[in-house]
């Protein structure tokens, strides 16, 4: 079989003529965005180091100050990189992308792949049912098959999956277009699950929509994605920006708000900088099956886990491999109608982060992988730095205590001087440094709020006052939980570095609030470290205590914070558009799930009608709603 | 259809719903640079000897190897 290559590389290709004369993703624009962002981030880091050195030199200067200067430089660069990404996103104008006209029929066949691993079968298959209705509305039933790819280890859960799958097939008349397969061994985890399908059945399909067990997508969105892919023969992967839905707790709703309010701008910045070497987040993305098959066969890394063995964070690697083979990998942030669920509490978040941490640190092995694009290597480096930077912040705090303790006062009478020499007061520079770092955290969010206010987008979030209250509450909450999350990340990194394989525990989606007892069990050590740190600071360098309190205080209260933020939260703040106008696919999912759950609890011989629940999910949704969902 | 936690029964019941076979080749990608060792497990001594040719040209390496007893460069 000839190796498939992007059409632009084929000498006999007529793609140049067949592609619509629209402005493609500009390589010059991508380069400009990268240069601007990198320059600004380097400039901010340099300025931070210079300010710190000026301050340190005015008092005394020793080896610890060199360490502090390096840590300040790296952490500031990382913060500034995030900030510049948002500023690029604010000013980025999305280029017109080629798409097949609505009048042209879709030729390619698509498989919707839903990998599951010990998930709640009713919830997963209710999502499939809702998406199938949506696909039918978009006229895609003939071109799209759905495959539930089970890696579930428990036979009892697998039996439930089979039961509800049979129910789904019967209800949606899915014989011959809805498939279920369970692997005997879950080799290669999720990546292996997808790979197994591509190897055994991929030849039947042109495209595959890769989902997560908690993913939802409107049929109209998938239709639009297929049209874009059919019009761009060099497009190997098209990633959407999934919005978080169904959050109920304070923590979950704050994340849901942040994902809806800030993420689109950050994603635009990311799309501008990544260009054709775009991201893949492992789900809610459409891949060209031939390109994926030929480019993304993942090997096992030599050596043992955590750095060797199967590649755990496979998505970034698959994106890099597609780019290496010459395919375009693109993020189109304008695509709406793509959803996922997020963690409901900090413990669940930390568990997920533990898996991602191990996968991301494994990228150390891939930085020198042969023939990778330079930007792909930089993306790996970013992924590593995202987990290392909390350790650097912690290191900076720890080093600051002995540095302050051993600080020698200024020498008023240097050698050969009769009259005292008063060093200039550089305290303003230290304060300037602290304010600058704070600004890097706050300014992007403020700028995004101002843009939303200016464009009127705040109306979708409950109006100006409510949006401002939500943004302020999110900022306050993220400030309070940041030190606790910093400690969870630190522990994850240390576990990985000491060779402790975290494994892949299933996500506990939809659980209730975390009790104080559970929160204590998960975070007592953080409280201990917080108390120890504050006491040590008070005893060794009391003048640093006010600087340490914003970090040590929340650590001291870790268990109550974890428990409190997991409680159900009303809609006073953190309103998001998908709460006010529930997307059709989400509404159908909720209805179907409620009906199935009710039926499962009913005695034999009764029907859903007895519970006043709709026996048949309403099929037709107003076109306007579908269109609104598609465009976010 | 009745489903229970008997894996064989469940598997048999789900067999008609298996995705249709349409195999596709998926070659394994190379992500690690291959070391240019002649043998799989070089001894530390061999490793030391092979470090020089990587860094220097072949002729220079030969010269250095000749001089190594004197220079102690291994």
Query: Of the segments A52-61, A304-313, B16-25, which one has the largest average pLDDT value?
Result: B16-25
Quick one: pLDDT at residue A423?
63
What's the pLDDT score for residue A14?
34
DSSP3 helix / strand / coil % (chain B, rounded to 5): 50, 0, 50
Residues 271-300 of A with CB under 8 A from B: 289-290, 293-299
**B32/A155 touch (CB, cutoff 8 Å), yes or no:** no
**What is the rounded average pLDDT of the residues A420-436?**
76
> Is the pLDDT assigned to residue B70 strictly greater than 80?
no
CA distance A35 to B73: 44
**The pLDDT value given to residue A486:** 94
Q: What is the pLDDT of residue A175?
A: 94
Write down the pLDDT at residue A10.
Answer: 39
Question: Mind telling me how many Å the CA of A496 is from chain B's nearest CA?
Answer: 21
Distance (Å, rounded) from C-alpha A257 to C-alpha A236? 31
Q: Does A202 touch chain B (CB under 8 A)?
A: yes
Please tell me the predicted confidence (pLDDT) of residue A264: 94
Q: Pick the residue of B2, B5, B9, B17 with the most A CBs within 10 A to test the interface with A by mutation.
A: B17
Task: Name the strand (E) or helix (H) holding A182.
Answer: strand A178-182
What pLDDT is attached to residue A414? 66
Residue of A nearest to B19 (CA): A179
Look at A253-257, A597-601, B8-12 and tell me which has the smallest mean pLDDT.
Answer: B8-12
Q: Are strands A338-340 and A235-239 parallel, antiparallel or unpaired?
A: unpaired
* A76 vs A188, higher pLDDT: A76
* pLDDT score at B71: 52
Which residues of chain B does A299 touch, with a Cβ-Cβ cutoff of 8 Å?
A: 28-32
Kindly tell me if the per-residue pLDDT of B22 is higher than 80. yes
Which residues have CB under 8 Å from A358's CB, separation 6+? A305, A306, A312, A313, A492, A496, A501, A502
B29 CB neighbours in chain A (<8 A) are 295-299, 321
Distance, in Å, from the CA atom of A196 to the CA atom of A59, rounded to the nearest integer, reads 63
Please judge whether B19 and A165 are an interchain contact, meaning their C-beta atoms are less than 8 angstroms apart.
no
Task: Return the residue of A nearest to B25 by Cα.
Answer: A199
By CA distance, what is A192's nearest residue in B? B26
Q: Is A183 on the interface with B (CB under 8 A)?
A: no
Residue of B nearest to A325 (CA): B29
- Can you give the pLDDT at residue B55? 55
Determine contact, residues A215/A188, Cβ cutoff 8 Å.
no
Sign of CA dihedral A464, A467, A473, A477: negative
Closest CA to A542 of A395, A399, A396, A401: A401
* Paired strand residues for A179: A147
Q: Would you say A231 and A448 are in contact if contact means Cβ atoms under 8 Å apart?
A: no
What pLDDT sits at residue B59? 66
Q: What are phi and psi of A114, to 5 degrees?
A: -115, 90
Given this model, what pLDDT does residue A454 score?
96
Task: Please determine, for residue A419, whether its predicted confidence score (pLDDT) is greater than 90.
Answer: no
- Beta pairing, strands A110-116 & A144-150: parallel
The mean pLDDT of A568-597, rounded to a whole number, is: 92
Selected residue of B12, B16, B18, B19 to mutate for chain A interface (largest A Cβ count, 10 A): B19
Q: With beta carbons under 8 A apart, name residues in chain A contacting B26.
A: 195, 198-199, 202, 293-294, 296-297
Contacts A311 to B, Cβ<8 Å: 31
A22 pLDDT tier (thresholds 50, 70, 90): very low
Q: Which residues pair with A286 in a beta bridge?
A: A209, A238
CB-nearest to A200 from B4, B21, B28 is: B21
Q: What is the mean pLDDT of residues A377-381?
A: 95
Among A408-412, A546-550, A552-556, A571-575, where is mean pLDDT lowest?
A408-412
pLDDT at residue A23 greater than cutoff 50:
no
Closest CA to A574 of A477, A470, A478, A472: A470
Of B1, B18, B21, the CB nearest to A166: B1
Question: For a pLDDT cut of 90, what percent of chain B falls above it?
Answer: 20
| A-chain residues near B10 (CB < 8 A) | 155, 158-159, 162
Which of B13, B14, B33 to mutate against chain A (most A CBs within 10 Å)? B14
Chain B residues close to A294, C-beta within 8 Å = 25-27
Which tokens go with A395?
């290191």
- Residue A27: the pLDDT is 74
pLDDT of residue A543: 84
Does A85 have pLDDT greater than 70? yes
Average pLDDT in chain A: 87
| pLDDT band (50, 70, 90) for residue A216 | very high
SS (H, E, C) A245-287: CCCCEHHHHHHHHHHHHCHHHHHHHHHHHHCCECCCCCCCEEE
Q: Which helix (H) or strand (E) holds A243?
A: strand A243-244
Q: Considering only CB atoms, which residues of chain B are within 8 Å of chain A?
A: 1, 3-7, 10-11, 13-14, 17-33
Asked if pLDDT for residue A279 goes beyond 50, the answer is: yes
Contact between A387 and A502 under an 8 Å Cβ cutoff? The reply is no
Q: What is the pLDDT of residue B57?
A: 59
Neighbouring CB atoms inside 10 A of A362's CB total 24
- Top pLDDT among A563 and A16 is at A563
pLDDT per residue over A465-521, tens digit each?
999 999 999 999 999 999 999 999 999 999 888 877 654 444 444 457 899 999 999
CB burial of residue A13 (10 Å; 0-12, 13-18, 19+):
middle
Q: Which residues contact A273 (CB under 8 A, 6 or more apart)?
A: A30, A33, A34, A37, A85, A88
Interchain contact A153–B (C-beta under 8 A): no
Q: Is pLDDT of A210 > 80? A: yes
Q: Are A218 and A337 in contact (CB under 8 A)?
A: yes
Q: If we measure between CA atoms, which residue out of A218, A103, A102, A271 comes closest to residue A631?
A: A218
pLDDT at B14: 86
Residues of A with Cβ-Cβ distance to B20 under 8 angstroms: 179, 201, 204
Write down the pLDDT at residue A268. 93
**Is A158's Cβ below 8 Å from some Cβ in B?**
yes
Q: Which carries the bigger pLDDT value, residue A501 or residue A376?
A: A376
Neighbours of B45 (CB within 10 A): 9
**Chain B hits for A204, Cβ within 8 Å:** 20, 22
Instruction: Output the pLDDT for position B51.
Output: 59
Statement: residue B64 has pLDDT above 70: no
Residue A400 has a pLDDT of 85
Q: What DSSP assignment string belongs to A106-151?
A: P-S-EEEEEEESS--HHHHHHHHHHHHHHHHHTT-TTTEEEEEEE-
Cβ-Cβ contacts under 8 Å between A and B: the total is 113
Which residues of chain B make contact with A289, given a CB cutoff of 8 A? 24
Residues of A in contact with B31 (CB under 8 A): 298-299, 301, 311, 317, 365-366, 369-370
Cross-chain residue pair B14–A182, CB shorter than 8 Å = yes
Q: What is the mean pLDDT of residues A327-351?
A: 94
Confidence (pLDDT) at A418: 67
């Amino acid at each position: 079989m000839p190796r498939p290559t992007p059409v632009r590389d084929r000498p006999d290709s007529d793609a140049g003529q067949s592609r619509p004369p629209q402005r493609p993703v500009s390589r010059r624009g991508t380069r400009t965005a990268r240069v601007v962002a990198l320059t600004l981030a380097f400039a901010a880091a340099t300025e931070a180091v210079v300010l710190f050195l000026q301050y340190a030199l005015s008092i005394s200067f020793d080896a610890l100050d060199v360490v502090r200067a390096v840590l300040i430089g790296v952490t500031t660069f990382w913060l500034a990189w995030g900030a510049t990404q948002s500023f690029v996103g604010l000013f980025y104008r999305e280029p017109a992308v080629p798409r097949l006209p609505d009048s042209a029929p879709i030729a390619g066949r698509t498989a919707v792949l839903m990998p599951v691993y010990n998930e709640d079968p009713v919830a997963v298959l209710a999502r499939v049912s809702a998406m199938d209705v949506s696909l039918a509305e978009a006229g895609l039933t003939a071109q799209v098959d759905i495959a539930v790819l089970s890696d579930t280890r428990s036979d009892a859960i697998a039996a439930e999956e089979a039961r509800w799958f049979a129910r789904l097939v019967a209800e949606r008349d899915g014989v011959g277009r809805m498939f279920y397969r369970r692997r005997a061994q879950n080799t290669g985890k999720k990546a292996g699950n997808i790979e197994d399908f591509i190897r055994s059945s991929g030849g039947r399909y042109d495209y595959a929509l890769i989902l997560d067990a908690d993913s939802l997508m409107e049929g109209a969105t998938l239709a639009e994605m297929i049209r874009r892919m059919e019009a761009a023969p060099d497009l190997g992967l098209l990633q959407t920006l999934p919005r978080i839905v169904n959050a109920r707790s304070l923590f979950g709703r704050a994340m849901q708000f942040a994902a809806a309010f800030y993420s689109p701008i950050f994603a635009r910045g990311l799309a501008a900088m990544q260009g054709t070497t775009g991201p893949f987040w492992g789900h809610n993305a459409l891949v060209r099956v031939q390109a994926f098959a030929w480019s993304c066969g993942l090997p096992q890394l030599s050596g043992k886990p955590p750095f060797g063995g199967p590649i755990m964070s496979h998505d970034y690697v698959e994106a890099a491999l597609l780019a290496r083979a010459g395919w375009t990998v693109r993020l189109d942030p304008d695509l709406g109608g793509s959803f996922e669920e997020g963690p409901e509490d900090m413990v669940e978040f930390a568990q997920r982060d533990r898996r991602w941490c191990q996968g991301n640190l494994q990228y150390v092995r891939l930085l020198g992988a042969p023939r990778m694009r330079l930007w792909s290597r930089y993306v790996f480096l970013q992924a590593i730095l995202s987990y290392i930077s909390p350790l650097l912040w912690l290191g900076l705090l720890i080093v600051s205590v002995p540095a302050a303790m051993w600080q020698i006062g200024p020498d008023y009478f240097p050698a050969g001087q009769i009259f005292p020499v008063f060093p200039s007061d550089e305290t303003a520079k230290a304060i300037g440094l602290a304010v600058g770092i704070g600004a890097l955290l706050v300014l992007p969010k403020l700028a995004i709020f101002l843009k939303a206010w200016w464009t009127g987008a705040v109306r979708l979030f409950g109006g100006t006052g409510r949006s401002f209250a939500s943004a302020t509450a999110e900022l306050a909450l993220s400030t309070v939980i940041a030190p606790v999350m910093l400690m969870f990340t630190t522990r994850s990194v240390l576990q990985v570095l000491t060779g402790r394989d975290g494994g892949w525990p299933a996500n506990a989606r939809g659980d209730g609030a975390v009790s104080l007892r559970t929160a204590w069990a998960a975070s007592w050590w953080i409280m201990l470290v917080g108390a120890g740190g504050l006491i040590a600071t008070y005893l060794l360098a009391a003048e640093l205590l006010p600087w340490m309190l914003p970090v040590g205080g929340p650590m001291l209260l870790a268990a109550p914070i974890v428990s409190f933020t997991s409680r159900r939260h009303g809609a006073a703040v953190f309103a998001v558009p998908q709460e006010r106008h529930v997307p059709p696919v989400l509404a159908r999912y909720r209805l179907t799930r409620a009906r199935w759950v009710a039926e499962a609890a009913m005695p034999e011989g009764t029907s859903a009608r007895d519970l006043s629940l709709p026996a048949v999910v309403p099929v037709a949704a107003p076109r306007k709603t579908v269109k609104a969902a598609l465009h976010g | 259809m009745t489903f229970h936690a008997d894996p064989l029964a469940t598997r048999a019941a789900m067999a008609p719903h298996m995705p249709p076979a349409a195999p596709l080749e998926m070659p394994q990608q190379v992500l690690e640079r291959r070391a240019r060792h002649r043998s799989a497990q070089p001894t530390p001594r061999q490793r030391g000897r092979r470090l020089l040719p990587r860094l220097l040209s072949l002729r220079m390496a030969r010269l250095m190897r000749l001089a190594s007893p004197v220079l102690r460069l291994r």
